[in-house]
Each structure stands twice: as C-alpha cells, then as structure tokens.
Chain A
Amino acid sequence: MNNLNQQNFENNEIKELFRHAQKITLTPSERNRLRRTLEIHIEKHPVRNTAGERLIGYRSLLLNFIQLPNYRMAIILMIALLLGGGTSYAAESALPGDALYGVKVNLNENVRSALAVSPKAEATLQTELATRRLEEAEELAEKGKLTSALRSDIVKRFQKSSERAKTELTKMNTSSEKTAVAELNVQTESSFNTHGYILKAIGLKQKGEIETEIETILPVVQEKVESLAKERDDDEEKVKTGSSTDVEASARGKMGAAENKINTVKKAITKAKERNDEWATVEAIARLDVAEKTFAEGKIALEKKEYNNAFLLFVKSMSIAQEAMTLAQVSNFTTVQIGVVTSGTATSTNLKNKSDDEEKSKEGFEDGELPRPGETGQGTSVKINKEVQVGGTITVPAPWKYELPKSWENTESNETETEDDDATTSNTIPKSSSDESETPSSTGGGVMPQPGSTSTAIKACPEQWIVNQMPKIEDSKETEENEIKDSDTTEIENQYFIYKGIRRELSDFDVYWIKLNCKIQPQVVY
C-alpha cells in the first residue's frame, strides 16, 4: 500500500516535471510554413493509384474512429471506403435492370443517407439521388433500353427521393437555413428542368416506345419543377422583405458562391472539350455566358446597394451556371446530338416539326405553364425552332419569374440573337483572327446545316491548311461566310486544306474536329 502511494506520488511528480514540455508547440507561422511545404510536396507527388487509398481507409477505419478526436475524418474514410469498396463501387454505375442496381439504390444510397445527419445534408443527398434517377432514365433511353417497367421504377424512386428532400427541407426553419433551402430549391429546379429537356430531346431522337415512356416521365418532372418554381417565388418575397443588413450579407455570400460555381462550370467545360463533347461544350458555354452576364449584373446591383436585387441575380447566375454544369457533364448525351447534326437536314426538319407541334399544343415540357422571358416575342419562337437543330431551346434559360431590371431583359434578348456567334466563337480555340471566318462552316454545320456539308465531313488530319490572303474580291462565297467577313474583316480569305497531296475545300472536312485533334496551323500565303 505504502509502496503504491509512493509510486503514485512519483508518477505525479514526474508528470509535473514534464508539464512544461507541453508548452513546446509550433508557432502559427512555423505551422503554416510546414503546411505549405507539405501541400506543395503532396501536389508534386500525388497518390500513385487509388487502390492504395482504399486500403488505408479500409484498414485504419476502426482505429481512426477510436483514436481520432476528429469525427469528420472517420466519415471521410467511411465514404472513401464506400466509394472504393469493390462491389458497391461497381454498383455505382449500375442502371435499372442491371444485377448490381439493387446494391446501388438499396445499399450504397441508404448508407449515404445514414451518413447524412443534418436535414440539409439529407435534402441535398435526396435531391442528388432524384437527379440520378433522371440521369439513369436518360442513359437507358439513350441505349434504347427504357421499358415501361424500368420507367415506372425510376419514376417511383424519383418521386420518393424528391418527396424526402422536400420533407427534410421543411425541417429547416431558421433564417440562415431558409436561405440554404432557397438556394437548394433553385438548384434543384434548374437541374430537373435541364434533365427534363435532355430527356425530351432523347425522346425526340429515339421515337417510338422510348419516346412514349419519356413522355410519361416528363409530367412528373414538370410538376416538381413547377412546385419548386412556386416555392422560389415565395422565397423571393421573403428575401425582399428581409432586413437590409441581412440581405447585404447574404448577397455577398451568394456572390462568392456564384463565382465558385462559375469557376467549377468552366472546369467542367474544359473537361467536356477534352472529350470532344461538342454539343455539351457549345450548349454549356452559351449557358455559362448568360450566367456570367447575370453575375456581372449582380455585381453592379451590389455596388448600387440594391442588395435584394443583387441577391436574386446571384442566385439566378448560380442556377444558370448549374444548368451549364449539368449540360457539360452529360457526356452520354453527345451521341444524340451528333446524331442530329450529322444526319443532316432530314432529322433537323423532323425535330423542327415536332417542336412546332408542341408549341402549338402547349404540351411541351419547356412550354405550357412555364413561360420563358421573351417567349411571346415573335423572333424568339422562330429562334427556338432553329435552335432545336443544335441542341434546342435551352439556350434560353428556364422559366424565370424574377422581376429583373430592364437591363437584364435586354441582355437576354441580345443574348438570344447573338447566341450562335457567341457559342461558336467561344467554343473554338481561337488561334488567329482568321479562325473566325471558317467556324460557321464547322460548328455551323449544326446551326445552319447545308445539305451534305457535315454528313460527309472528313475527320482526318490534312497535311496543310492554307489561308490564301492574296488581295482579290470573290463574290461567290457562301453567304454566312460573307456575313461574318463583312462585319469582322475586310480581307477576303480563301482557305483550303492540302489532304493527300490534293487541294480540298474546308467544307469537306469537319473543321471543328480537326482543330481539336490535329496540330495543324493555318498557313498564310500571299
């Protein structure tokens, strides 16, 4: 007993002796310096393979859970495990009807749901899951595998997820949470809207049974979009009536968020470009452009201290950016559009007619009770029809009911008029001013199709690209090329390729493809 006491005493004494050692810590500057060095090192030496990460997560999961005061890490590891674990990982890409689809929706998604603790996390997740269902429908439809059984399963799950999201959102009542709810709603609305559009486009392309199935899905999606639009209206009222300091703070917060979103979209577009996703790129860039313009408007409003307005503009900018994001990410949709573009006028006309019919019957997804800004304008409806050929009406953003300043409305209509040019010029990689002159014949193949121009386009690298800049006047040029030239340059250029030793015209080639895939540069001759 005595011995034990003595030992305890000694122990405490020793502890006391070393107590001051705890004061030895890194100073903040030292700590940051080390962190930076480490960050640079990590950046320069990234993980070699993902399998390794999985092992770490897998083996140290329990230990970390016990030892680390940091719960977050355990959760991160758990998610890493989930995403990395063999079967469940393979199941992530499963489609309805696949063997692993059950694992995906019943195991993976439920575990994720269990991990989402807060109402916000749960709502975000359920929204994501609902969007996922739409993506699955798109993929199935695209592959021609969308049967009525699978469709009803997808619709059921879509409704379940979106209902759950809605229920979770009603739990969020504080003012800061309300803002988050509004934000999430706007994002969901635009996401559903875009997917609805994509589904419709696939339906128009696939026709027959697939189209019928898609027509059954669309009203469900439309209903959700409408109810979200209604909520957004209500939310806006709340924002408008909020106190000015609150609104200023949220407007500034939203500005940052919108900026981030726009940057993310830019990255996604770069990726889409990398995988030659022409349609996605053109459509997304057009959207991004609108988002950026709206963002700029928001900034102006912020400077003018019109905080409510600024807030709404930023939210709108974010939402449009979200649509651009969705478009840039829909890689499987590419084939549809390329199908439309390359199959020439015939398909375009079909689409055009259908689109006309829908406009008349007002049953189309993007019409009906969801009016677009400027839709009533005569010019717009013509434009819409024309645009269906490249990718459709979504270049005009979803039904916005915001009370926007007049300047915005102007931008919108200008945007519609100049959209084609914007899209094509920003889409191509500008090398020299001469580039602009032949873009219409490349991407323009979709915008203003000339029979036979794109359907037989050669996708091969020519040896030379000659730009003849001998000063001479040619009147027999194609109309749209002249138009561009008249406005842009006074020089008349005559461009052609040397392919297999023979002069070939630009119109024989898929110029966009060449720009992306060949190292060839225009060579100017005088």
Chain B
Amino acid sequence: MFLEIYELYNDAIFRHCFFRVNCNRERAEDLTQETFIKTWDYLRKGKEIDNMQAFLYRVANNCIIDSMRKKTPVSLDALMEKGFDAPNTTGMTTEDTIEISRIRDILENIEEPYRTAVALRYIDDISPKNIALMLNESEDTVSVRIHRGVQKIKKFYEQS
C-alpha cells in the first residue's frame, strides 16, 4: 500500500525537491528518499495521516530545510562568481535545459515565503487550498503569497 503511494507521488516530490536544491539531481534524489522513509517511519508508529499529499510535501520541506542547515548554504553571490552552473538535466533537450535554468533563476530571485508558495502552485500544480493545508496557513495567506510571488517574478523579468 505504501509503495503505491510512492509510485503515485515520487515524481512530484522529486520535482519539488529538485527546484529547492539548486536543481541538483543527486540531492533531490536523496531528499525524495528521505521523505518517503520518514513518512513510512511515521506511519509504522501507528500515527495517522489525513492527507497523504500534504503530508509528503510537508516532510519534504522539512527535509529540505534540514539539509540546508547541515550544508553551508551557497550564497547567490558565490554562485554568480562561479558563473553559470548548468543544472543536471539528464535526458533533456537544450531548450528544456535552458527553460529549467530560467525557472531556477526565477526561484532564486524571490525570497521565502513567496518562493515556496509559487513553487507549490506552479511547479507542483497544487491548489491554494491544499497548499494552505501543507503549510498550516490559511488559504487567504497562501493566495496572497502566490500573488506577491508572481508580482516579484514579473518585476524580475522587467528588470532583466
């Protein structure tokens, strides 16, 4: 039963992690694994989960935050200096790679909590209602965050 949940959500969770760790495939894979293992450990203790999707994203978010704390965060400046760091886009066309890089740039340029809101809404295609459930916020707050996030993206585009 749990493996069915895995089959259902593995791509979504992986994608979610991918864009949150500077498009690093390996780290995203590790995080995906950690997410499902942690969820299983939670379930096996006999605890209940109301909304599996929301729960998985929440666990994934926690894992991402934990991993960020463990590893010294790579500052944007340092990244800029290092130059263009091509995301690892196995098996993708050049166009896709460019698009993915662009998405990464966008996400890097909007700060939290707007980034998470936008990512969940547009990358993971989750309804504001469910995002609210995941983040333990009201639906209104989430909608505002998404909206502001979009404004920031627009601004980012206008500037560049």
The chain A residues found within 8 Å of chain B, CB to CB, are: 10-11, 14-15, 17-27, 30-31, 34-35, 37-39, 41-42, 45-49, 51-53, 55-56, 58-60, 63-64, 67-70, 72-73, 76-77, 80
Query: Which residues 62-96 of B sit at the A interface, judged by CB distance below 8 A?
Result: 89-92, 96
Q: A23-B96, A31-B10, A34-B10 are in contact. Are A52 and B52 (CB under 8 A)?
A: no
Residues in A whose Cβ lies below 8 Å from that of B155: none
Whether A42 contacts B2 by the Cβ 8 Å rule is yes
Whether B52 contacts A64 by the Cβ 8 Å rule is yes
Q: Top 9 nearest A-B pairs by Cβ distance? A: A52-B46, A20-B99, A18-B122, A21-B123, A55-B48, A25-B11, A47-B44, A24-B15, A59-B48
Residue of B nearest to A68 (CB): B8
Residues in B whose Cβ lies below 8 Å from that of A70: 4, 8
Which interface residue of B44, B53, B99 has the most chain A CB atoms within 10 A? B44
Residues in B whose Cβ lies below 8 Å from that of A15: 122
Whether A56 contacts B48 by the Cβ 8 Å rule is yes
Task: Pick the residue among A18, A25, A26, A80 that contacts B123 (CB under 8 A).
Answer: A18
Residues in B whose Cβ lies below 8 Å from that of A19: 99
B144 at the interface (CB under 8 A from A): no
Cα–Cα distance between A34 and B32 once the two chains are bound (Å): 8
Residues in B whose Cβ lies below 8 Å from that of A67: 51-53
13 residue pairs bridging A and B, Cβ less than 8 Å apart: A11-B150, A20-B96, A21-B19, A22-B125, A25-B11, A27-B90, A31-B10, A37-B33, A48-B46, A52-B43, A58-B48, A59-B49, A69-B8
Cα–Cα distance between A70 and B90 once the two chains are bound (Å): 29
Dominant secondary structure of chain A at its interface with chain B:
helix
Chain A proximity of B129: nearest CB distance (Å): 12
Whether B1 contacts A38 by the Cβ 8 Å rule is no
A14-B153, A24-B14, A26-B10 given; name 16 further pairs at CB < 8 Å.
A21-B19, A22-B123, A23-B92, A26-B11, A31-B11, A34-B10, A34-B29, A47-B46, A52-B46, A56-B43, A58-B48, A59-B50, A63-B52, A64-B52, A68-B52, A69-B8
Q: A25-B14, A63-B51 are in contact. Are A41 and B40 (CB under 8 A)?
A: yes
Chain B proximity of A340: nearest CB distance (Å): 44
B41 at the interface (CB under 8 A from A): yes
Cα–Cα distance between A299 and B41 once the two chains are bound (Å): 45
- Contact mask B1-25 → A, CB, 8 Å, 1/0? 1111111101100110011000000
Q: A34-B36, A42-B2 are in contact. Are A24 and B19 (CB under 8 A)?
A: yes
Whether A17 contacts B14 by the Cβ 8 Å rule is no
Cα–Cα distance between A55 and B42 once the two chains are bound (Å): 13
Residues in A whose Cβ lies below 8 Å from that of B50: 59-60, 63
Residues in A whose Cβ lies below 8 Å from that of B53: 67
Whether B51 contacts A73 by the Cβ 8 Å rule is no
Task: Pick the residue among A18, A69, A76, A77 that contacts B103 (CB under 8 A).
Answer: A18
Task: Pick the residue among B32, B99, B102, B122 that contacts A26 (CB under 8 A).
Answer: B32
Chain B proximity of A121: nearest CB distance (Å): 19
Residues in A whose Cβ lies below 8 Å from that of B153: 14, 17
Cα–Cα distance between A15 and B124 once the two chains are bound (Å): 11
Cα–Cα distance between A18 and B104 once the two chains are bound (Å): 10
B132 at the interface (CB under 8 A from A): no
Residue of B nearest to A50 (CB): B46
Whether B100 contacts A17 by the Cβ 8 Å rule is no
Cα–Cα distance between A29 and B128 once the two chains are bound (Å): 33
Whether B10 contacts A45 by the Cβ 8 Å rule is no
Dominant secondary structure of chain B at its interface with chain A:
helix
Residues in A whose Cβ lies below 8 Å from that of B36: 34, 38
Residue of B nearest to A45 (CB): B44
Cα–Cα distance between A249 and B90 once the two chains are bound (Å): 40
Whether A14 contacts B33 by the Cβ 8 Å rule is no
Task: Pick the residue among B7, B14, B40, B123 that contacts A45 (CB under 8 A).
Answer: B40
Cα–Cα distance between A67 and B5 once the two chains are bound (Å): 12
Whether B6 contacts A38 by the Cβ 8 Å rule is yes
Cα–Cα distance between A455 and B122 once the two chains are bound (Å): 78
Chain B proximity of A389: nearest CB distance (Å): 47
Residues in B whose Cβ lies below 8 Å from that of A18: 103, 122-123
Query: Which residues 113-154 of B sit at the A interface, judged by CB distance below 8 A?
Result: 122-123, 125, 150, 153-154
Residues in B whose Cβ lies below 8 Å from that of A14: 122, 150, 153
Whether B29 contacts A26 by the Cβ 8 Å rule is yes
Residues in A whose Cβ lies below 8 Å from that of B52: 60, 63-64, 67-68
Q: A52-B47, A56-B49, A68-B8 are in contact. Are A30 and B15 (CB under 8 A)?
A: no
Whether B4 contacts A73 by the Cβ 8 Å rule is yes
Residues in B whose Cβ lies below 8 Å from that of A11: 150
Residues in A whose Cβ lies below 8 Å from that of B96: 20, 23
Chain B proximity of A373: nearest CB distance (Å): 45
Chain A proximity of B45: nearest CB distance (Å): 6
Residues in A whose Cβ lies below 8 Å from that of B45: 48, 52
Whether B46 contacts A49 by the Cβ 8 Å rule is yes
Whether A47 contacts B100 by the Cβ 8 Å rule is no
Task: Pick the residue among B11, B15, B48, B150 that contacts A60 (CB under 8 A).
Answer: B48
Residues in B whose Cβ lies below 8 Å from that of A17: 102-103, 106, 122, 153
Cα–Cα distance between A56 and B39 once the two chains are bound (Å): 12
Task: Pick the residue among B15, B44, B100 that contacts A25 (CB under 8 A).
Answer: B15
Whether A42 contacts B40 by the Cβ 8 Å rule is yes
Whether B1 contacts A76 by the Cβ 8 Å rule is yes
Whether B100 contacts A24 by the Cβ 8 Å rule is yes
Residues in A whose Cβ lies below 8 Å from that of B10: 26, 31, 34-35
Chain B proximity of A386: nearest CB distance (Å): 50
Cα–Cα distance between A44 and B63 once the two chains are bound (Å): 22
Cα–Cα distance between A63 and B43 once the two chains are bound (Å): 17
Cα–Cα distance between A68 and B53 once the two chains are bound (Å): 9
Cα–Cα distance between A290 and B122 once the two chains are bound (Å): 62
